[in-house]
Structure 1
Amino acid sequence: MITDIEVNKPEPIAIGKKLKSFKQGTAVKATIEALKRGESILIKEFYNDGISLLHDLHTYLKLKLPNKSFLEQQAYRTEYYRLSNLILLEIVDQKLCVKKSPGIGWLEKFYSENNHFFLTFPQIQGLNSAWQWYQNGISIPVLRNKMHPYYGTYFPTRFEHLVLFDNWLKRYKGPKKTAIEIGIGCGVLSLQMIQHHFQKVYATDINPNAIVGLIEFMGTTKLSRKIELDFGHLFGKWEKQTELIVFNPPWLPEVHDLSHIDAAIYYNKTLFADFFCCGKKKTVT
């Protein structure tokens, strides 16, 4: 069943040994040297201690690594990623064990059966930002209502292409019985088509979070009958012909192993050939 899809989430870390800890006032240089040796550091007192350590880490790396050319910037990001992800926070009963920490609803949603584990500080920052977007919503100029993007789901931060698509839909005179969207993400393009009176949109995504998030967002409203989802690559299970195929593809060539959300940005070398090979069979002529 589609509702049984397992979402992508940060993998809980189990620690069986005592960790070194950091708080403001702790020797920063010694802490960074420990990180360089591959030792994990626990933020134990205040949430802002972790933010302070990340700031100190940036300061240290700017002094040690050049950061001008593309390759140098890539090396800088790689080293920052390696070291920052050794900084940990403890979670007990779905809450962070530090003072003045944010409330992050994803901890309860994703880890309801795990009462004690650790996550890296950057992972917690990502969960926190995603929770704020999810809770408060994001205004999209071409939509009537705010979007509430699910954790780990791509959503637009620039809107020029959405305005262009909206203007195109206003002028579109073709049939509006069905459309297929490849890579629905948080659902903006499909919602635009529904606003412009398409009767049915069949949509796919290879990111399970996009599918689960939209199932939750649509619930049992009319939208759930107008937008039908499939967790699959390109056209997924949709074999039928359609009046319109919509695809806002990744725009950068793949250069490394992709995270799940990166797949919305980076494409592999066969993506477009596969898309056009499959797509020419789907369009009503």
Structure 2
Amino acid sequence: MEYLIEVGDELAAKDAIKLARGNRILLWRGDFRNALQLLAAMKRRLRRVPRGTSPADTFRRYRQATTERSRILSRVQVELGPGYTLTLPHAPDITRACRLAFGDASDNRMPLTEILGALGADRWRTRGVHVPALQARIHPHYGVFAPTRQEYVDLVAEAPWPRPRTALDIGTGTGVLAAVLAKRGAGHVEAVDIEPRAVECARENLARLGLSARTTVSRHDLLPAGKADLVVCNPPWLPGPAATPLDAAIYDPGSRMLRGFLRNLPRHLSGHGEAWLVLSDLAVRLGLRAGTEALIAAAGLRVLDRLDIRPRHKVSRDDPLAEYRAAAITSLWRIRV
């Protein structure tokens, strides 16, 4: 059973964590900036994750720790007035960000972490992410994975071009890969995603880039009806449950999307068509799934070529999976039936 208690500027991080673990909702009544400092201090105290007996066990502990950390941090909540009004001292105007993220109806209480997520997403949506492969910006929406790490985009931009008349982008997200395919000269690109937020986001991005006439975006799980000369898929890289819509871009329970894509691919490739599967080998290094080539062969498909790229982003030394992330290779697998 949860209990609500009012707290303020005097609350220390260690006491906040103890109360949150005791199923207390901490309703913040102090200065907004002090609430941010409290969350940062709580995160530092909750950062450490013990290593496991194997890479897979370390991953399991990491996931458990991050889930528990999110649960504890979500206990720090604020009271909202109508239309997402937040009246704490030094609080920013959160109305636009929260409406875009959560819709018009507002609860009378909300975790501070959710508000911060909405504010961060609103900044990304306004500013956009520069994508060198497009020489343009992509504007992610709340809950849609932002292309901040662009190794996978560069692989799609540089792979040998088969001059497709039709192309499919499966799990399009922001629409960044659909935009790359259209810019490279695909006659028509059909982009699909199961998440409504992603469909809206991709449509807006492709329209902003002037590509609406050569692209369509629709909501669909895996591959839509019909065949294409080129099918591109960048599925989530790690098996595991997704706790949030944003997690769904990273975690794929039982590798459902990856296996479903490979299993259904032969029915959706034209006679001389090919598919590009873009995937990191991090899950293989962690012992979480079989090698990609073995999965491709098991689906009755053959590999034409493989293009590799190493990560360019920095890895946090506090991350217990740092050595595996730093060594992981992202590959574009060129596949045919």
Amino acid at match of 2:263: C
Q: Is the 8 A contact 1:200 1:227 kept in 2?
A: yes
Q: Is the 8 A contact 1:194 1:200 kept in 2?
A: yes
Q: Which residue pairs with 1:11 in the alignment?
A: none
Cα separation, partners in 2 of 1:204 and 1:22, compared to 1, 3 Å: same
Task: Indicate the SS of the match to 2:218.
Answer: strand
Pick one of 133, 151, 170 that aligns with 1:160: 151
Amino acid at match of 2:29: K
Cα separation, partners in 2 of 1:103 and 1:221, compared to 1, 3 Å: same
Cα deviations by residue, 1:57-91 (Å, 9 ceiling, x for unpaired): 245546xx764442554443333222211110222
Give 1:187 shift: 1.0
CA-based RMSD of the aligned residues comes to: 2.7
Cα deviations by residue, 1:232-257 (Å, 9 ceiling, x for unpaired): 1111xx32221100111221122x35
Pick one of 38, 42, 47 that aligns with 1:53: 38
Q: Which residue pairs with 2:236 in the alignment?
A: 250
Q: Say how many residue pairs are matched.
A: 261
Q: Which residue pairs with 1:132 in the alignment?
A: 123
Q: Which residue pairs with 1:194 in the alignment?
A: 182
Amino acid at match of 1:45: G
Q: Is the 8 A contact 1:22 1:31 kept in 2?
A: no
Q: Which residue pairs with 1:204 in the alignment?
A: 192
Distance in structure 1 (CA, Å) of the matches to 2:154 and 2:230: 18
Answering whether residue 207 of structure 2 is matched by residue 230 of structure 1, we say: no
Q: Which residue pairs with 1:10 in the alignment?
A: none
Q: Which residue pairs with 2:70 in the alignment?
A: 81
Distance in structure 1 (CA, Å) of the matches to 2:208 and 2:72: 45
Q: Is the 8 A contact 2:14 2:42 kept in 1?
A: no
Cα separation, partners in 2 of 1:158 and 1:240, compared to 1, 3 Å: same
1:94-109 correspondence to structure 2 within 5 Å: 94-104=84-94, 105-109=96-100
Distance in structure 2 (CA, Å) of the matches to 1:258 and 1:187: 23
Amino acid at match of 1:185: G
Q: Is the 8 A contact 2:7 2:27 kept in 1?
A: yes
Task: Indicate the SS of the match to 1:245.
Answer: strand
Distance in structure 2 (CA, Å) of the matches to 1:270 and 1:116: 34
Q: Is the 8 A contact 1:47 1:98 kept in 2?
A: yes
Percent identical pairs in the alignment equals 24
Distance in structure 2 (CA, Å) of the matches to 1:113 and 1:258: 23
Q: Is the 8 A contact 1:95 1:107 kept in 2?
A: no
Pick one of 260, 270, 274 that aligns with 1:284: 270
Pick one of 116, 134, 156 that aligns with 1:143: 134
Of 94-103 and 151-160, the range deviating more from structure 2: 94-103
Answering whether residue 174 of structure 2 is matched by residue 183 of structure 1, we say: no
Amino acid at match of 1:242: A
Distance in structure 2 (CA, Å) of the matches to 1:164 and 1:30: 48
Distance in structure 2 (CA, Å) of the matches to 1:77 and 1:220: 36
Cα separation, partners in 2 of 1:192 and 1:44, compared to 1, 3 Å: same
Q: Which residue pairs with 1:275 in the alignment?
A: 261
Q: Which residue pairs with 1:39 in the alignment?
A: 24
Cα separation, partners in 2 of 1:28 and 1:264, compared to 1, 3 Å: closer
TM-score after normalising by structure 2: 0.69
Structure 2: unaligned runs, 5 residues or longer: 53-57, 272-337
Cα deviations by residue, 1:200-225 (Å, 9 ceiling, x for unpaired): 11111112210022233445984222
Answering whether residue 99 of structure 2 is matched by residue 114 of structure 1, we say: no
Distance in structure 2 (CA, Å) of the matches to 1:18 and 1:66: 28
Cα separation, partners in 2 of 1:72 and 1:200, compared to 1, 3 Å: closer
Amino acid at match of 1:249: P
Structure showing the higher strand proportion among its residues: 2
